Structure 1
Amino acid sequence: MSAQGDCEFLVKKARELVNQDPWAAKAWLITARTLYPTDFNIQYEMYTIERNAERTASAGRLLYDMFLNFPDQPVVWHEISVITSALRTDCQDKQTQFLRGLFETLPGRIQCEMLLKATEQCFNTLEKAEMLLLLLRRFPETVVKHGVKLGESLLDAENMDNQESPVNCFRKLFVCDVLPLIVNNHDVRLHSNLLYKYLNKAAEFYISYVTKSPAAEAQHPGTQDASDLKSPCKRSSQKYIIDGLTEKSSQIVDPWERLFEMLSIVGIRCDWQPDKGARSFADILHRMKDLSRYLSSFDNENHVKYKNQVVYSTMLVFFKNAVQYVNSIQPSLVHGSSTSSQASLVLLEDLSNVFDDVDIDRNKHIHKKRKLAESREKTMSSDDEEVSGKGRNRQVLVNKVDLPNSSEVLESFKLARESWELLHSQETLEKEFSRICVAWKTDTWLWLRLFLTDMIIYQGQYKKAITSLHHLAALQGSQQQVSSPGSLEQHRALIQMASCHFAMGEYRLACEKVLDVICYMVPPAQESTKTQDDMPKMKTKFRKGSDLKLLPCTNKAVMPYCLQLMLACFKLRAFTDSRDDLALGHVIVLLQHDWPKGENLFLKAVDKVCQQGNFQYENFFNYVTNIDMLEEMAYLRTQDGGKIHLELLPNQGMLIKTSSPPLGLLQQEFIPVLQASIQTADRHHTVTRGITKGVKEDFRLAMERQVSRCGENLMVVLQRFCLNEKIILLQGLV
C-alpha cells in the first residue's frame, strides 16, 4: 500500500470511530501524524475533531501548526476567514464565542501575522479595510505603519467609486473607525494640513449624516442589509457599494459629540489656543470672536493656524445650531428628527397689531350694542412701553404649545446667526468658509437653504429673502422634498414671500401670494364665538413691538394669518383721507375674523362712513354675516344713526328670497333695529315712496337673510370671499 493510501486509511478509520469512541479516533490520528508529519489531511482531520468538540486550546494549537506548516492550503484560509468574521461581528451566539476563544489561544505574534496575511488574501477594498482595522484595534502598535495608509486607501476608494454622498460605507469606515485610531495615537506623525483634511472629511460626513432626510434615503432602495455590513465574508463584491447608511445597526451614536471630540483632538495636535474650559457653544463662539480680532497681528504661520481654528470651530457651532433649529421647525427635513406629529413652523412677520391704530372719538357715534367695557379701554400696559423703544433686537414670538422647547430653539437660531456673521466678518474667514462650502456642495442642502432664508428674513433683507425663497422652492422641487401634494409645507415659501412683500410695502404682491396659498387650504372647523368678556386676559409684553413669529404650518394657523395680512394690506388704503369704499368694504369683511378683536377698527370704519354720509359696497350681503356688524349697519339708516345712505345691495336679480330658518336669541334682538331702520327710511322718503319702496323691501329681505346666515362657518365664507373676489381684491391694491 502506498503512503497516500495509508494516510487515507488512517483518516477514514478515525472518522468511523469519532462518534463511537472519540479517544480511539484521536489515537489513530496521533499515530498517523507521527508516521506522516507532512500530511495536511491528517492534521486538518485532527483540527476538525477538536473544533467540533469545542476544545478551544487543542483546536488553537492545531490551527497554529497548520498556519505555520500549510499556509497555502485554501481550507486553512477558509477557517481563518470564519474566525476573523467572528471577531468583527457583534453576534454573541455560542459558535461565535468559541471561535473568538480559539483565536485568543494563539500567541500574539501569530495573531498579528495571521491578520496581516488574512488581509493580503482580500481583494475587495472594504473587506480588506475591515480586516486591517481589526489588526489595528488589537495591536495598536501597527497603527503607525498601517493607519494612515488604510485611511488614504478608503478615501481613494470613495473617489474612484464616484460616491454621490459623503454618507457612504467608505467614508463611514474611515471617519468612525480608522480616523480615531490615527489621531489618538501620538506616535503617528501627522502634518497639520493632513489633520485639517481629515477634520474636513469627518465634519462633512457627520453633518450630512445627521441631516440626511428620509426622502433622500428612500431614493436608494438598494441599500445594503446591515448584517452584510457586519459580515464581509457573506458579501459579494457587487453588494459592497452603498449610497446610504439607514439600517439600525449602522446608526451612529452621538454624531455631534464625536465630531466636536475630533475638533478638540485636532486642535490639540495643531497647537490651537486651548479652550480654557469653554464647554457651551456660546462659550466657544465668544472665544472665537475674541481670537478673530487678533488674526491680522499674527505672523503667517500663526495666522493660518488660528484662522483655521476660528473657521472650523465657528463653522461647527454654526452647523450644529442651524441643524437644531431646522430640526425643530421642520422635522421632516432631517434624518434624526422626532417622530412626533408636531407640525412644521414658518417664520413670518408678526401681525398681532393689525387691529391697532384706532384713533376715534367714541362720543360721535355711540350705540348701546357696542359700548366697550372700561377695562378694555386700558389694554395698553406699562409692559408694552418697555419694548417699544428704538434700537432693540428683533423679537421672535412662538407659542409654547407649538414648540415646547422654544427657548432652546431660539437660542440655537441666535447662535447660528452670530456664527454666520463671524464667518463673514473678515475676508480671510469668509474665503476659507466659502471654499469648504463649495467642496461640500452646501448649495444643494435644502435644510440649510431654509435656515439661511429665515436668517435673512430676521435681518430684514427682504429682497434678498425673496430671492432665497425662489431658490428654496426650486431646490425643493428638484429634490422632491415635499409633503403630500397641496400641503401647506409645500407652499410655505409662498407664505413667507407674502410676508416679505408686505414688509416692503408691496401690498399687491403680498395679497397675490396670500390668495395663491388660500386656494390650497381647507377652512378649519367653526369655533364658538367668544364675547369680549369671555376672552382671556393676556399680558401684552412683547406683543406690540414684536417683529416676527413662528407659526404652525397648518390650515388652522396659516389661514387666520393670511386674513390678517390681507387686512393689513387694505387697512391703510381704507383709512386714508381720500375715499375708497371698496377697500373699506374689504376691511369690514375681513374684520369679522377673530371678532371682537377688530371691533375698535370696525368702529373707525363706521366713523368714516358717518363722515362720508354714504357708503357703497355691493358685496356686503355676500360675505358679511357678523350679527354685530349687521346691527350697526342697519342702525346707520335710522334717524339716531345719522340717516346714512347705504348702497349694500348686489344685483337685485341675484337676491335669494327664501324663507328664513328659526332665529337665535341674538338674531331676534336684531329684528327691532332692522324694523326701526326701515320705518325711519319710510318717514323720510314719503315724496318718492312709490319709487323707493322696492329698494327698501330688498334691503329688509337682504338683512333678514343675513341674520339667518350668522351660524355659517365664517372661515368658509371668508375663503369664498378671497377666491371669488380675487381679481377685485388685486385691482384694489394697484
Structure 2
Amino acid sequence: MRVLADALRCEDDDGQSKFLREVFCQLSTDLQHRGLSVIADRSSDTLEHCQLVLLLLNKFPNMVNGHGTRVVDLLLTSEKHAHFKSPLNKYRKFLVCDLLPSLLSSSASDLTHKQLTRLFLRTVEFYVCYMASDNTKIQGTGAEEPVELRLADPWKDMCSLCQLAANKLHWPLADVFTHKRSRDLVWQQLASFFREHSARQEDPFVHSQLVYCTVAVMLQAVVEYSHKIDPTMAPDPPDKRREAAERALAALPAPDCSIWSDGSAAGGTSNGGGGAAIILHRENDRRIECLAAAGTHCSSTRAELVAVREALKSLASLPADSLDAIKEIRLCTDSRACLQTLQRGQAAQQEELPASIWASLHDFTCSQSSSGGGGGGAAPPSLMLVEAFPEPLSSTTSLLGSVPGPSVPGPGPAHRRHRSQELDPTEPLLTVSRQVTFKPQQLTLAFLTGVRCWSLLSQNPALEKEFQRVWQHVLSGNSWPWFQSFVTDVHLYADRLQELAYRTDAAAAAGLGGTGGTGAHCCRALLQRMAAAFGTGDYQLAGELCLHILTGPLLPSALGDPAKTQVVAQCAQNRHLHFLSYTQADVSKYCIKVLTLCLQKKVLGPGAFQDNAVGHLIVLLQYDWPTEEPIFSKVVHLIRQHGTLTYPQFVHYVTCPDIVEEFVYLNTEHGGGLTFSLVPAQQPRGTISTRGVDKGAREEFRMAMLQQIRRTESTLTLIGEFLTAQKDDVLRCLR
C-alpha cells in the first residue's frame, strides 16, 4: 500500500507509476480507504502524514469531517514548534498551497469559526511574505539547497482562498476578494460597509470581518506600492524577473561577446565556487565554460566575483584573432551585491578580488554599460515620497501645509474619483517622477488604497483594538521593514510632522554622522527628515541635510534625464507630494529647490540684510531659471533698498545672462547707480562706484559682466562647485 500511495502522490507519468495507479483503482473502495488510513497513521514524518491524509481526502471527500480539523491543527502546531523565521516554510506551504484549496472548497468541511479566521490570516501572511521577499526558498525541506517556491499568480491564489474562507464565515465583505476587481470599487465597498454598520462596531461579527478584509486589501496594496517605489525591497516573482530581464536584453544592441556568470556558497558562508559561460557571437556563438573554487570560507558575493574574474581571465587567454573581433562585451550576473561592489569604481576598491576585475575590464577597454548592467539592463530607479511644491509658490507660502489625515470618503464612480483628485484641497496632489516607465496611476492608486485602509482601521476603539491584536500578535507586521517605510510615508501624507521627525531622526543623524550608509534608503530618510525640519521652521537642519546629500556620497550615480525632472505642479490643493526618483537629475533639482527656499526664508524674512545670504540665493536661483525670476525680482528690490551688495563669489558662480544684465543695469544711472563689490578683494577695482569717483569703473564692470555671460560651464557644474566650496558659509547664513 505504501508503494501504491507513493505512486498516487507522484506526478511522474512513467510506465511504472501508471501501472501502480491502475492497480490501486482496481482495489475495492473499502480497501483503498483502509489502506490509505493505515499508512497515514503509521507515518512518523508530520509532512508525509499530512500529504497522505490529503490524498485520502481527495479520494474520499466525504471523509473531510474530522480529518480536516486534525490536519490543520497538526500543521499549525508543527510550524510553531519548528521556530521557522519565515512563513515560507514547508508546513505553511503545504497548508496554504496544497491543503486549503481542497479543504475550503468542500461543503462537508467542519472547520470552526476560530480556525477559519486563523487560516484566513495565515494565508494572507504567506502570500504577502512571498510577494515582499527577495528570498522565496522554502525553509525546512532538509535539502542541501532549499527549493525556491514559484507561484504563477500569487495574488489570485490569495484572493481565491480568502474569498472561500470569508464565504464559510458568512461575511458580506467576501466580494472584495473578487480577483482583479478595481481598487476603487474594493475601497468603496469597505467604506460603505463601515458607514452602514457604524452603530454595530462593537459587534464582533462586524468589526472582525472589517478588520480582516481591510488588512488583506491594505497589505496587497502596500506590497504592490513597495514594488514600485523600491525594486530592491520587494522584487517581482522569479518568472516576472526573468521575463523583464529577457525583455531588457532583447532591447539592447547585439554584443560581440556575452558572459553569463554565477556563484554560490553553502549557506552563504562556506565552500564557495563560481563559474561562467562565455559566448563568442562572432564565432557562430562558440561557447567556453570556466569553473573556479572561491574558498572554504567565503560569502556568496565573493563567489560571484570569482566567477566574473575567471570569465575575464578565460577571455584574455583567447588567440589574438578572436580578441580582435571583440569590440563590446556584455557581462550578465544575477548578483546585485557583485554589481554594486564593482560600480563603486576602481579607486574605491579595497580588496584584491574586485580590484583585479577592474584591472581586467580596463585591459579590455570595456564600456561602462558592459561592466555591470544587472542582467543587460539598468534597474529601474527607486522612488521616494517627498514634500514638493504647489504652483504658484510665493515667498510667504509654507512648504508644508496643514491638512487633516485621510478620511473615509463617500462612494462614487471610479472615474469621478480620479478626476476630482486634482480639485480636492483636503488631500495633497500626488505626482510621480517622469523618469519611470510604468503608469503613474498604478503607484498612486496602490498608495492611496493603503493609506485609506490604514486610516479606516483607526476610526473607532473597537476596530483599533482588533487591528492591533491581529497586527502585533498574529501577523507580526511591525517586523516588516517595507511596511514601516509605508507608515513613514503615511505620516508625511497626513502632515504629521512630529511623527515623521521621530521616525526619521535616527537615520538622519546616522547619515550626517557618516554612519548611515549610502543608497536610496538613507537618502529617502534624509529627504523626509528634511520635510519635517522645513515644515517646523528648522531651516538650518533642512539646509544641512540638503547640502549633505548634494555634496556627499548619497547623490545617486544614475544620471536620469534632466528634461523629465519636475518638482513643481500647478494644482488647487494646498499641498503637493511627489514620488522623486533616485537619480541625479531628480535628487539634485529637489535638494537645490529646498535649499533655495531655506535661503529665501532668511533673505526675504525679517532680519538684517546679509550680503552672503543674498549672494548665495542668487547663485541658486540660476538652476531653475526663468521659473525663479519672480523671487529674483524680490531680491533685486531688497538690494535696491539696501543700496549695495558685497559678494566676491559673484564672478565665480553667476553666469545667467538675465541676472548679469540686471546687475549691469543697476550699476547705471538709470538703474539707480548702486555700488557693488563683486570680485575678490585681491583683484584691482574690487569696488564699483557710480558716484563719479572712478570714471572707467562702470565700463570695466560692464566688460567684466560680459565675460561672465560668455562662460561655457553648465549651470549644474557651477552650482556643484559652489556648494562644495561654500557649504560652511551657506550653513552659517541659515543659522
Q: Which residue of 1 aligns with 2:255?
A: none
- Of 575, 578, 581 in structure 2, the residue corresponding to residue 549 of structure 1 is 578
Distance in 2, matches of 1:679 and 1:729, equals 23
* 1:550 aligned counterpart, secondary structure: strand
- Of 550, 558, 583 in structure 1, the residue corresponding to residue 613 of structure 2 is 583
**Aligned partners of 2:390 and 2:568 also within 8 Å:** no
* 2:34 aligned counterpart, secondary structure: helix
* 1:652 aligned counterpart, secondary structure: coil
1:269-668 alignment to 2 at 5 Å?
269-273=168-172, 279=178, 280=181, 281-293=183-195, 297-298=199-200, 303-336=203-236, 339=241, 341-351=379-389, 353=391, 356=394, 391-399=425-433, 402=436, 404-439=438-473, 440-470=475-505, 486-518=518-550, 519-520=552-553, 521=555, 541-542=570-571, 546-576=575-605, 578=607, 579-652=609-682
Greater percentage in strand: 2
Distance in 2, matches of 1:473 and 1:156, equals 43
CA shift for structure 1 position 719: 2.1
| Code of the aligned partner of 2:443 | V
Q: 1:472 to 1:173 in 2, by over 3 A?
A: farther
**Aligned partners of 2:390 and 2:574 also within 8 Å:** no
Q: Which residue of 1 aligns with 2:400?
A: none
CA shift for structure 1 position 352: 5.5
Q: Which residue of 2 aligns with 1:715?
A: 716
| Code of the aligned partner of 1:349 | E
**Aligned partners of 2:388 and 2:568 also within 8 Å:** no
| Code of the aligned partner of 2:470 | I
Distance in 1, matches of 2:175 and 2:476, equals 34
Q: 1:545 to 1:403 in 2, by over 3 A?
A: farther
The unaligned stretches of length 5 or more in structure 1 are 1-66, 68-76, 230-237, 360-385, 656-676
Taking every aligned residue pair, what percent have the same amino acid on both sides?
A: 26
**Aligned partners of 1:311 and 1:429 also within 8 Å:** yes
Q: Which residue of 2 aligns with 1:137?
A: 58
| Code of the aligned partner of 1:733 | L
Distance in 1, matches of 2:559 and 2:224, equals 33
| Code of the aligned partner of 2:461 | E
| Code of the aligned partner of 1:271 | H
1:518-550 CA deviation, whole Å, 9 max, x = no partner?
21226887999x9xxxx9999975288552111
Distance in 1, matches of 2:392 and 2:63, equals 71
Distance in 2, matches of 1:475 and 1:268, equals 50
CA shift for structure 1 position 564: 0.4
Greater percentage in helix: 1
CA shift for structure 1 position 324: 1.9
**Aligned partners of 1:623 and 1:718 also within 8 Å:** yes
Q: 1:630 to 1:525 in 2, by over 3 A?
A: farther
Between the two proteins, the alignment pairs up a number of residues equal to 565
TM-score by length of 2: 0.68
Distance in 1, matches of 2:529 and 2:201, equals 47
**Aligned partners of 2:435 and 2:560 also within 8 Å:** no
Q: 1:177 to 1:111 in 2, by over 3 A?
A: same
* 1:725 aligned counterpart, secondary structure: helix
The reply to whether residue 239 of structure 1 matches residue 143 of structure 2 is yes
Distance in 1, matches of 2:7 and 2:422, equals 69
CA shift for structure 1 position 98: 4.2
CA shift for structure 1 position 502: 1.6
The reply to whether residue 180 of structure 1 matches residue 101 of structure 2 is yes
CA shift for structure 1 position 127: 2.3
CA shift for structure 1 position 726: 2.1
1:622-673 CA deviation, whole Å, 9 max, x = no partner?
32233433333234323343321111223427x9xxxxxxxxxxxxxxxxxx
Question: Alpha carbon RMSD of aligned pairs, Å?
Answer: 4.1
The reply to whether residue 208 of structure 1 matches residue 216 of structure 2 is no
1:216-250 CA deviation, whole Å, 9 max, x = no partner?
56xx8x967xxxx6xxxxxxxx439x9x76x2xx3
1:41-78 CA deviation, whole Å, 9 max, x = no partner?
xxxxxxxxxxxxxxxxxxxxxxxxxx6xxxxxxxxx5x
Comparing 398-407 with 642-651, which one deviates more in the overlay?
398-407
The reply to whether residue 195 of structure 1 matches residue 224 of structure 2 is no
1:468-519 CA deviation, whole Å, 9 max, x = no partner?
234778999xxx9x9xx63334421111211222222221111111112121
Point out the structure with max Rg over C-alpha. 1
Q: Which residue of 2 aligns with 1:372?
A: none
1:127-182 CA deviation, whole Å, 9 max, x = no partner?
22223222222222232232221221111111111111112111111122222333
Q: Which residue of 2 aligns with 1:113?
A: 34
CA shift for structure 1 position 331: 2.3
Distance in 1, matches of 2:727 and 2:201, equals 65
Distance in 2, matches of 1:712 and 1:526, equals 20
Distance in 2, matches of 1:330 and 1:475, equals 21
**Aligned partners of 1:620 and 1:648 also within 8 Å:** yes
Q: Which residue of 2 aligns with 1:32?
A: none
Q: 1:109 to 1:456 in 2, by over 3 A?
A: same
**Aligned partners of 1:449 and 1:472 also within 8 Å:** no
| Code of the aligned partner of 2:95 | F
* 1:332 aligned counterpart, secondary structure: coil
The reply to whether residue 254 of structure 1 matches residue 153 of structure 2 is yes
Q: 1:600 to 1:475 in 2, by over 3 A?
A: closer
**Aligned partners of 1:575 and 1:584 also within 8 Å:** no
Distance in 1, matches of 2:509 and 2:733, equals 31
* 2:389 aligned counterpart, secondary structure: coil
